[in-house]
Amino acid sequence: MTRSFNPSERDSKGRLNVTGTTQNAFGFRTRERNDEVFCAQCWEPLIHILFNVYLPLYVQCNGGSEFIYPATRRLLNANLLIWSQMKLILSKFENTPPQIVLEWKDSETEAEGWVVINSLRGGAAGGATRMRKGLDKHEVESMAKTMEVRFTVSGPPIGGAYSGINFNPNDPRKPDVLERWYKAIMPLLKYYYGTGGDVNINELEEIIPITERLGILHPQEGVFAGHYNLTEEHKIIRVDQLRQGMMKVINDERYTPSVEKKFTVEHMCTGFGVAHAVKAYYEKWGGDIKKKRAVIQGWGNVGAAAGFFLSQMGVKVVGIVSHEGGLINQQGFVPDEIRALVANKIGNKLVSKSMLPFFMVNQKIWDLEFEIFVPAAAPRLIIKDQIDRMIASKIEVFPCASHVPFFDPEIFLGPIGVYADEKFSVIPDFIANCGRARASTYFMENPVPADDEPIFEDIASTIDKALQKTHALNPYRTGIAQASFELALEQLVG
């Protein structure tokens, strides 16, 4: 059982009348005494010192245990045991082979691709399609497992999957490659796999027209068939809801940088989720978001939308870095400037007359003063040196807008990811980046509302619930990603 500290449960002497387990500063379960328990706020600095000063002596030196009181040794040993158990569960999930792997070689070009379905939990699996030169099977498998964890937050309760094509997206032969690709995987899309657009693949302009020509009602038809078990008539109704919902043009100025540019729910929902995760973090763990500064890495749909919504919340965006260059303003760009940068971007490219060269921005941006860093570029870019520089910049929260942002070979928490999680607040991508998955689930199960607010409020509510569960398990500012994974894995690994 898991307990949190509730002031109403204290006796006349101010002692907690509870027995069972609670959470220490690292998110590990520890036994409470029935007679007297320090409050969580008092324990945190003490345990922090024990962990960072005495534990290294205990672990590395044969005689280190002499410097730790027996009760403290028992506490640390219990924590290490539980952490080891969680790592074993995580390793088991990572290393369990996916249920289905389809490998494809194009007959007319050098293109190759993979569909990886980690499991058919709930009768179906879901995950988007990406294309880039150099992509490999491991990347696709990583994304499939990431999606399975994400669905524990966003719903529906289905398996994780992903598609990836190793091909240059700027090659003029791309449309024909995609045509042959979707023809090859058509049976999966018809009965138990749902997909969408991701890196260099546009769902509205590329996937939907191709799949419709192949007789697929919608790229998510397989989820409707395999998970919801709908009749053909009801499937058509739900598909229409989903199509209209994701393509809905946003008219509420709170959710779009430009009504005239006709941004859709598809464009803005993921970035909204990332920004709301930051807002929810400060509401639950403490802090005034209006006094915070942010750096955004990547200015595609996710990064740009996250920057827009953070700016609307009162955050000062002090830096933007993308592969084509970037912008720096330690005083912070005003909301109208951010709004214009989002509205004027071309595809996934940042556009500005004040653009600085990439090498210059990438050299300076890590040393700016900021509390929020949003990694919304390609996966596996963040290295340990950059983390150390961000720590020196007083970073507080790191919402993973990118799938697997750390330069680790592991699918989830590798050494760099764990290092970051133990130094500042890392919100894992299956929470911070669940906006699109949640929006899709909303439209699969609900008619399209006339207003925009219910759509975005549903995303916000989903993220709030997920972070509230994490906070109940671990009310401290470090170990948030590890606690979140523990909650998710409890649903997936027996």
The average pLDDT across 277-287 equals 98
Q: What is the pLDDT of residue 12?
A: 43
Domain that holds residue 38: 7-94
| Res 364 pLDDT > 50 | yes
- Residue 409 binned pLDDT confidence (cut-offs 50, 70, 90): confident
Residue 387 and residue 479 in one domain = yes
Residue 155 and residue 13 in one domain = no
Residue 2 lies in a domain: no
Residue 290 and residue 184 in one domain = no
Residue 339 and residue 314 in one domain = yes
Instruction: Check residues 468 and 40 and name the one with the higher pLDDT.
Output: 468
Residue that is last in its domain, among 94, 116, 149: 94
Least confident of 45-54, 313-322, 445-454: 45-54
Q: What is the pLDDT of residue 84?
A: 61
The average pLDDT across 64-84 equals 48
Residue 89 and residue 104 in one domain = no
Residue 434 lies in a domain: yes
List, for residues 317-363, the tens digit of each pLDDT value. 999 999 999 999 999 999 999 999 999 999 889 999 999 999 999 99
Residue 327 and residue 407 in one domain = yes
φ, ψ (nearest 5 deg) of residue 330: -60, -25
Q: What is the pLDDT of residue 410?
A: 85
Q: What is the pLDDT of residue 348?
A: 85
Residue 328 lies in a domain: yes
The reply to whether omega before 379 is within 30° of 0 (cis) is no
Residue that is last in its domain, among 246, 263, 290: 246
The average pLDDT across 229-243 equals 91
Sheet holding 397-399, edge to edge: 325-333, 316-322, 293-297, 372-375, 397-399, 425-427
Q: What is the pLDDT of residue 183?
A: 97
Q: What is the pLDDT of residue 80?
A: 52
Q: Rounded distance, CA 126 to CA 120, Å?
A: 9
What mean pLDDT value characterizes the chain?
86
The average pLDDT across 167-171 equals 96
Q: What is the CATH number of the domain that holds 470?
A: 3.40.50.720
- Residue 492 binned pLDDT confidence (cut-offs 50, 70, 90): confident
- Residue 89 binned pLDDT confidence (cut-offs 50, 70, 90): confident
| Res 378 pLDDT > 80 | yes
Residue 154 and residue 291 in one domain = no
Residue 1 lies in a domain: no
Residue 271 lies in a domain: yes
Residue 365 and residue 224 in one domain = no
The average pLDDT across 372-391 equals 95
Number of domains in the chain: 3
Q: Rounded distance, CA 274 to CA 293, Å?
A: 15
Helix ranges restricted to H, 253-383: 265-285, 301-312, 335-343, 358-364
Instruction: Check residues 314 and 89 and name the one with the higher pLDDT.
Output: 314
Residue 288 and residue 311 in one domain = yes
The average pLDDT across 8-29 equals 39
- Residue 83 binned pLDDT confidence (cut-offs 50, 70, 90): low
Q: What is the pLDDT of residue 126?
A: 96
Q: What is the pLDDT of residue 36?
A: 32
Residue 217 and residue 77 in one domain = no
Residue 279 lies in a domain: yes
Residue 406 lies in a domain: yes
For the chain, how many residues are written? 494
Instruction: Check residues 415 and 23 and name the one with the higher pLDDT.
Output: 415
Least confident of 90-94, 212-216, 286-290: 90-94
Residue 173 and residue 257 in one domain = no
471: which residues sit within 8 A by CB, 6+ positions away?
284, 285
In degrees, to the nearest 5, what angle opens at C-alpha 441 toward C-alphas 281 and 126? 100
| Res 62 pLDDT > 70 | no
Instruction: Check residues 348 and 173 and name the one with the higher pLDDT.
Output: 173
Q: What is the pLDDT of residue 491?
A: 86
Residue 14 lies in a domain: yes
Residue that is last in its domain, among 218, 246, 274: 246
Displacement of CA 479 from its chain's centroid (Å): 15
| Res 1 pLDDT > 50 | no
The average pLDDT across 111-132 equals 97
Q: What is the CATH number of the domain that holds 158?
A: 3.40.50.10860
- Residue 17 binned pLDDT confidence (cut-offs 50, 70, 90): very low
Residue 125 and residue 21 in one domain = no
